[in-house]
Amino acid sequence: MIDQQKTVQVTLPDLFVGFLARKPVLHQDYDHTRVASESWLSDLCNFPSHFQKTVHKIDIAYYCAILLPHVDADRFRVVCDWMNWVFPFDDALDNGPLKENPEDVRELVDGLMGIFDTNTTHEHENKLLLAFESIWLRVLQSSCPGIQRRFASAMRDYCEAIFQQVVLQKGSRQKRLGVKSTLQMRRQSVATMPLFALVEYAHALRIPDDVFECKSIKEIQRVGTDLVLLQNDLISYRKEKALGESHNIISIYQQEGYTIQEAFDEVERSLSECYRDWYLALAQLPSWGEEIDSQVHLYIDGVQNAALANIHWSFRVDRYWGNSQDVRKTRIIDLPAEVVAPKQSKIDVDISNKGILFPVFFLVGVLGSIFAVPRVFDLAS
């Protein structure tokens, strides 16, 4: 039972509004592909049984089924494989054994980046690298060069962000970011850009490279990214606070002197700006002719579906608030009283354009090492 004397009630923004109010459509092969993808990764990486259960409980294929409801089954499977892969890869660096070891992370990142320089299979001591190589080779075999470049470039940015995150995390007592710099770094590290490239792949699009230099397309990507990261921070705040995470935007607002409800309200305002900016970007979108325009709109639908899938998946998995459907209905959550931070002076520091990784998705618990040194998995409840 919750001790009302030690909790604070906070009202969530209504996340199911605007173009996110529509009912999602699921890919018809969701159930089958879910099982196949989870089994593939668990078997290849030799996950212990209790972690296999965790992977199944996360059900990231549900996210993919909303993201890509009408694509080819084989391509849908590749995206599911990547999404299942990114959870343990990201979490081992964010909460796992490499969390405070920049040298080991640098070696891991360099190993993953080396995969893009080949088109054949190699032996990897790290099974997660072997899994990623399988995904990359499948993308390589059935996509145009533009998609390959965008996916590889986005993954390089993502991996560089992983390294930068560990470096910052190790020196977190000396460094603190404000809201502006936090948003700047998260846009580069939330892992939406590799996913957007996989949207292209899944639809077998052939959009010319110059389209992606269009100001409106870049703004659509930016808004789609902001929606996902802001949703994530609202939804995961309580659990991340319990795990001692400090890069959640709610926590940053608290560091700047906002009350907890004021912080949630600020994020709500940011979300409203995202909805406005989305429609403004669409209104300014040029035409490239019927053939290209039809593909561009499939891509834009995929970017929008990333945010739609994120909120529906987050409320489905029931891992942030206990009874997610009650929270969705009332928008009221109970937070421990100690999360209300004392007033502090505003802080903001400049960071490089590379940014720092903060995971787009949240794997609860601490993974054991599936890297060079065997370690027992120890997942938190």
Residue 371 has pLDDT above 90, yes or no: no
Both tokens assigned to 184:
């700047």
Please state the domain count of the chain: 1
Residue 292 has pLDDT above 50, yes or no: yes
Q: Is there a domain that residue 328 lies in?
A: yes
Q: Choose among 321, 339, 327: nearest CA to 260.
A: 339
Q: Choose among 89, 228, 95, 110: nearest CA to 160.
A: 110
The model's confidence at residue 119, banded by pLDDT at 50, 70 and 90, is confident
Both tokens assigned to 300:
């834009």
The model's confidence at residue 342, banded by pLDDT at 50, 70 and 90, is very low
With b for 16 or more beta-carbon neighbours within 10 A and e for fewer, the 150-179 pattern comes to: bbbebbebbbbbbbbbbbbbeeeeeebbbb
Q: Is there a domain that residue 102 lies in?
A: yes
Whole-angstrom distance between the N-terminal and C-terminal Cα of the chain? 17
The model's confidence at residue 78, banded by pLDDT at 50, 70 and 90, is very high
Q: Choose among 110, 31, 94, 154: nearest CA to 367.
A: 94
Q: What is the pLDDT of residue 100?
A: 66
Q: Is there a domain that residue 163 lies in?
A: yes
Q: Is there a domain that residue 372 lies in?
A: no
pLDDT tens digits, one per residue of 183-219: 887 887 789 999 999 999 999 999 999 999 999 999 9
Residue 340 has pLDDT above 80, yes or no: no
Q: Is there a domain that residue 246 lies in?
A: yes
Q: What is the pLDDT of residue 365?
A: 39
The model's confidence at residue 375, banded by pLDDT at 50, 70 and 90, is very low
Mean pLDDT of the chain: 83
Average pLDDT score over residue span 14-33 = 97
Q: What is the pLDDT of residue 98?
A: 67
* Percentage of the residues of the chain whose pLDDT score is greater than 70: 81
Residue 303 has pLDDT above 90, yes or no: yes
pLDDT tens digits, one per residue of 93-111: 766 666 667 788 888 888 8
Average pLDDT score over residue span 295-314 = 97
Q: What is the pLDDT of residue 163?
A: 81
Q: CATH number, domain at 36?
A: 1.10.600.10
Q: Can you tell me whether residue 362 is helix, strand or coil? A: coil
Average pLDDT score over residue span 221-236 = 95
To which residue do tokens 């354009």 refer? 353
Of 140 and 180, the one with more pLDDT: 140
Q: What is the pLDDT of residue 290?
A: 98
Residue 324: Cβ-neighbour burial (10 angstroms; 0-12, 13-18, 19+): middle
Both tokens assigned to 358:
């903060």
Instruction: Provide the whole-model pTM.
Output: 0.86
Got the DSSP string for 166-209? HHHHHTTTT----HHHHHHHHHHHSSHHHHHHHHHHHTT----G
Q: Is there a domain that residue 348 lies in?
A: no
Q: What is the pLDDT of residue 171?
A: 61
Q: What is the pLDDT of residue 373?
A: 32
Q: What is the pLDDT of residue 322?
A: 64
Domain coverage including residue 322:
10-339
CA distance 100 to 91: 13
pLDDT tens digits, one per residue of 39-51: 999 999 999 998 8
Q: Is there a domain that residue 80 lies in?
A: yes
Q: How many residues does this entry show for the chain?
A: 381
